Structure 1
C-alpha cells in the first residue's frame, strides 16, 4: 500500500496528534456517502483495531481499515488554505469521477 502525505498535510495532522497525545494515529479511509458513492474520512484514532492496517508515512502513524485499502492505495493527501477555508485535498488515482462539489468520488 502506498499513501503519500505532503509536508503541509503532515504538519496539520501532527498538530492534531499533538493536541491528543493518547491518539494511536490518524485514521484515513472512506465511507459510503455523497452523490458519487464514497467520501474520505480523516480523523484521530483511539486505537488500532482488528481489520486495521497501521503504516508509518514520513514518521506519521496512519491507520487504514482493510475495507478502504484498495480504494485509497496510491492517494496523495495534501492540506490547502484558500482564503478563510482550509481542508485536506485528495489526489486518488483510483477515483474515476467526483461529484461537482468534490466531496465524494466513484471508482471504476
Structure 2
C-alpha cells in the first residue's frame, strides 16, 4: 500500500491538523458518487475504526479505510493553487477515466 503526498499537500495537511489538534490525522478515501462512479474524500480523521490503515507519510498521519485501499493504492496527492482556487489534486494510477469536471473517476 503506497500513497504519496507532495510537499505542498503535506504543508496544507499540516495546516489543517494544526487548527484541529484533536484530529488523529487526515482521512483519505473514496465514496460512490458523481457521473463517473467514485469521488475522493479528504477530511480530518476525528476517530479511527477497526478497518482503518494509518500511514505515516512525511510525518502526516494519513488514514485510509479498507474499502478505499485498492482504489487509492499508488495515488500521489498534491495541493495546487490556480488564481483564487486552491484544492487537492490526485494522480491515481488506478483511474481509467474521469468525468469532464474532474470531480469523479472510474476504475477498470
Q: Same fold (TM over 0.5)?
A: yes
Note the C-alpha offset of 1:47.
1.4
SS at match of 1:17: helix
Please provide the CA RMSD for this pair.
Answer: 0.4
Which residue pairs with 1:105 in the alignment? 105
* Superposition TM-score, scaled by structure 2 size: 0.99
Partner of 2:85: 85
**1:18-74 CA-partner distances (Å, limit 9, x unpaired):** 000000000000000100000000000111111111110111000000000000000
- What is the number of equivalent residue pairs in this alignment? 108
Give the whole-Å Cα distance in 2 for the aligned partners of 1:17 and 1:51.
Answer: 22
* Unmatched runs of 5 consecutive residues or more in structure 1: none
Distance 2:9 2:55 in 1: 16
Inter-partner Cα distance in structure 2 for 1:86 and 1:66: 28
* 2:55 matched residue in structure 1: 55
Q: How far, CA to CA, are the matches of 1:97 and 1:27 in structure 2?
A: 23
TM-score, normalization: structure 1?
0.99
Give me the whole-angstrom Cα distance separating, in 2, the residues matched to 1:99 and 1:87.
17
CA separation in 2, counterparts of 1:23 and 1:89? 22
Secondary structure of 2:49's partner?
coil
Secondary structure in 1 aligned to 2:14? helix
Alignment of 1:73 with 2:73, yes or no, is yes
Runs (4+) of structure 1 moved beyond 3 Å? none
